Amino acid sequence: MTVPSVVVFDLGKVLIDFDYGIAAQKIANACGLDPAEVKKMLDHSPLLYRFETGLMSNEEFYKQVSANTGYKGCHEEFCGYFADIFWEIKPMIAWQAKLRASGIPTFIFSNTNGIAVPHIRARFPFFANFDGYVLSYEHGSMKPDPKIYEVVEKMTGHKGADIFYLDDRAENIETGVTRGWQTHLQHDPQATFKVAQRLGLPIN
Ligand SMILES: [Mg+2]
């Protein structure tokens, strides 16, 4: 068994939780639509895919959602609504700090966008404490596309079993497995810590 050299964290539902329903409710209230319809447009939608692979700017995404919903608020208000949907998963953040203190490099590997990231950076201090960030919208590719996993290997300087990768989505984990990474499909931090301990990593 190889003790991993680096730990690669997905962001959403691994380090921070989120609910697009919060944004959908605020946007729906502002334009008299059904929140469920707005949520469908945001959460894992083709529009979000284009945004998170860098094919649309923040402004274009705002304009497209506004056109689709009849939302009349300004860009800034929209960004506030769209981004304020996150809260910390504290045991995971404490564990990342522990890894960092133990000298184990940690990375963020996220399908995300240019509205969410500045908000998360400003709101959550833990976000600054990683050795590197692979963010889909900066690379024109998103998980589970193998192309963006190559970016992780380049940035970390590691491959195969040297990488321990956590994500809450099975299709993302699957590509990691095909590259020989050690992986864990996260659903509960305590279960994650048990796996990490088995691999020889320090836990809280
Ligand atoms: Mg996730």
Q: What is the CATH number of the domain that holds 78?
A: 1.10.150.240
For the chain, 204 residues long, give each residue's pLDDT as a single digit of tens: 899 999 999 999 999 999 999 999 999 999 899 999 999 988 888 999 999 999 999 999 999 999 999 999 999 999 999 999 999 999 999 999 999 999 999 999 999 999 999 999 999 999 999 999 999 999 999 999 999 999 999 999 999 999 999 999 999 999 999 999 999 999 999 999 999 999 999 997
In a domain, 139, yes or no: yes
Query: Ligand 1 center to residue 131 CA distance, Å?
Result: 19
Query: Ligand 1 center to residue 101 CA distance, Å?
Result: 24
Query: Ligand 1 center to residue 33 CA distance, Å?
Result: 27
Query: Ligand 1 center to residue 117 CA distance, Å?
Result: 14
Among candidate residues 2, 4, 52, 53, the one with its CA nearest the CA of residue 156: 4
Q: What is the CATH number of the domain that holds 194?
A: 3.40.50.1000
Query: Ligand 1 center to residue 88 CA distance, Å?
Result: 13
Bridge pairing between strands 6-9 and 163-167: parallel
In a domain, 145, yes or no: yes
- How many Cβ atoms are within 10 Å of 192's Cβ, its own excluded? 19
Query: Residue 143 is part of which domain span?
Result: 6-17+87-198
In a domain, 203, yes or no: no
Q: Helix 75-83 vs helix 20-31: angle between axes, to the nearest 10 degrees?
A: 150
Please indicate, yes or no, whether residues 92 and 118 belong to a single structural domain of this protein: yes
